[in-house]
Amino acid sequence: MGIDTEVGSSGRVFPAGARAADLLQLWLARLRRAEVKMHPNHRWRDLTPTGTLIFQRPDGASREITPAGTVLALGGASWPQTGSDGAWTSILARHGVAIIPFAPANCGFETPWSATLLSRHEGAPLKNLLLRAPGGQQQVGELVITRYGIEGGGIYPLTPFLREKLAATGRAILTVDLKRDLAESEVRARLAKPRGKNSWSNFLRKQLRLDGAAFSLLRECCAEADFADPTRLAARIKRLPIPLTKIRPIAEAISSAGGIAMDEVDAHCMLTRLPGVFAAGEMLGWEAPTGGFLLQAAFSTGYCAAHGLLAWLARPAGGR
């Protein structure tokens, strides 16, 4: 499309200018050249068994279209203020399509921080952590301390496991390794050195380069008795438990889990109960660990659905 790309430090590919607006304008220009007709401000209201789409026009009147084939790309249920509110689920459910209830994905979690921690470190990132979910799943990344709890790229891939635990028990423990590059024995050995007149914050800063928000988080989640024993403190530094009490609302989530059950579509993303109707993107019941993976999966299912539609239109029977 004429936009240069670059490879980031993670190995992923990005537009060199990093401006989504540039890509959007090029996509729109391509669609216009292909003579795609756009009808903004129409709301999809229903689908008949014969494939007729019923819309509500901007003036409130009803409009019906009977296409030879349909691709639905209506998004999930996160960020409803942009239009992705999941209202389409009721239409497909009336046709017997199995819908997995939507749930927040790639989102923050709540934990009751003290006023002291928030006053000092709200918005502070903690980097180079090893995070573990209750089932043992782990992820290297960062966390951000927020007014309600935690957020950040490190926790997003663990969302499904934490969400499942919260749903089952109402509580989940995220375990954090604050010094993932040091073995626990090395941490313990450094903590066993005489502290002298150093405060705990100075001592940990000198021995482990553990200070600022990381030290405050350690204080927040440890008992005073843990600091009296190098073995116990080393164990806490390597496996710091953060109790999570709630997942953030789906309206705040980067994306959503749930949607059309994957066994409701064939290999070309066509709904088996509605021949000639295809679905793509976050409508489908898959879950991706944020960012580029989410976009790639949405684009890939769109590509699959488009080729499925072309094959449908070219079949000997023609049309619907």
CA 268 from chain centre, in angstroms, equals 25
d(CA 54, CA 44): 6
d(CA 320, CA 317): 8
> Does the pLDDT value for residue 63 go beyond 70?
yes
> Does the pLDDT value for residue 214 go beyond 60?
yes
Please tell me the predicted confidence (pLDDT) of residue 317. Answer: 64
Please tell me the predicted confidence (pLDDT) of residue 50. Answer: 87
* Average pLDDT for the chain: 92
Residues near 162 by beta carbon (within 8 Å), at least 6 away in sequence: 109, 133, 134, 155, 172, 174, 244, 247
* 292 vs 48, residue with greater confidence: 48
Overall average pLDDT of the 284-304 stretch: 88
Residue 283 and residue 88 in contact, taking contact as beta carbons nearer than 8 Å: yes
Please tell me the predicted confidence (pLDDT) of residue 220. Answer: 95
> Does the pLDDT value for residue 319 go beyond 50?
no
Residue 276 and residue 312 in contact, taking contact as beta carbons nearer than 8 Å: yes
Overall average pLDDT of the 168-187 stretch: 96
d(CA 26, CA 154): 33
Q: Render pLDDT for 98-152 as a digit per residue (tens, 0 to 9).
A: 999 999 999 999 999 999 999 999 999 999 999 999 999 999 999 999 999 999 9
> Does the pLDDT value for residue 254 go beyond 50?
yes
3-state SS class at 99: strand
Residue 90 amino acid letter? S
Please tell me the predicted confidence (pLDDT) of residue 86. Answer: 93
Instruction: Give the confidence band of 290 by pLDDT, cuts at 50, 70, 90.
Output: confident
> What single-letter DSSP state applies at residue 193?
S
Architecture of domain 40-104+253-313: 3-Layer(bba) Sandwich (3.50)
- Own/partner long-range contacts of 99-102 (Cβ < 8 Å, ≥24 apart): 99/258, 99/259, 99/260, 99/261, 100/257, 100/258, 100/259, 100/260, 100/261, 100/285, 101/258, 102/76, 102/77, 102/250, 102/256, 102/257, 102/258, 102/259
